[in-house]
Amino acid sequence: MPNFVSRFFRPFTSSTKMGLGPAEGGAQNIPDTAQKCTVAAGCFWGVEHLFRKDFGEQGLYDARVGYIGGDTNNPSYRAVCSGRTGHAEALQMTFDPSRISYTTLLEFLYKMHDPTTKDRQGADTGTQYRSAIFYHSPEQEKAAREVTEKAQTQWWKNGKITTEILEAGQWWDAETYHQLYLHKNPGGYECPAHYVRKFPPLS
């Protein structure tokens, strides 16, 4: 099933969160100088895949898919898909700020999805697919607002960016089978809105 219908046949699990080893998206020996970047842009399979593809060898220590921004503890994928927990499917990256900047990651976010479609990417619809930036410091909040303003005026002039900019709250790792999903399942579902636009550099 090459189209969005395949998402409805994703495996569910009744287990609680499971630990991730290095082969399943975990990372080891991350230095104290590392920073986090947490974003949401629709189905987290494709978001993780594109960020790993572009930054995996450029200072990205780790990238984990999971849930953030909701009202319940330890949500399952099934619960998040219901839209009743308030969580977004999201990606949390740990990166080396001496090799890649937070601003660069946010600019890539605005290239790889459509931030003008509220609560939707392609045919995936619901608040769990919303566009969002969850900042981890006042400096990240400032950068997020600046990049968003530039992306609005220079890249997305024909629509209004709906990306939420919120303080990062409790993060929950998604179930193990979601981690590195497209790496382990080549040809699996990829949202058609997830591709890197050829925008000029922001000024």
Which are the catalytic amino acids?
A: 43
The helix or strand, by DSSP H or E, that contains position 80, with its residue range, turns out to be helix 77-81
CA atoms within 13 A on the CB side of 28: 6
- Determine whether 29 is exposed, middle or buried from the number of CB atoms within 10 Å of its CB (0-12, 13-18, 19+): exposed
- Match 């609680």 to its residue by tokens: 16
Q: How far apart are CA 191 and CA 41, in angstroms?
A: 10
Q: How far apart are CA 44 and CA 47, in angstroms?
A: 5
The candidate with the shortest Cα–Cα distance to 97, out of 152, 180, 33, 156, is 33
Residue type, 5: V
- Determine whether 28 is exposed, middle or buried from the number of CB atoms within 10 Å of its CB (0-12, 13-18, 19+): exposed
What is the chain's alpha carbon radius of gyration, rounded to the nearest angstrom? 16
Lookup: tokens for 118: 């509220």
- Match 């209004």 to its residue by tokens: 160
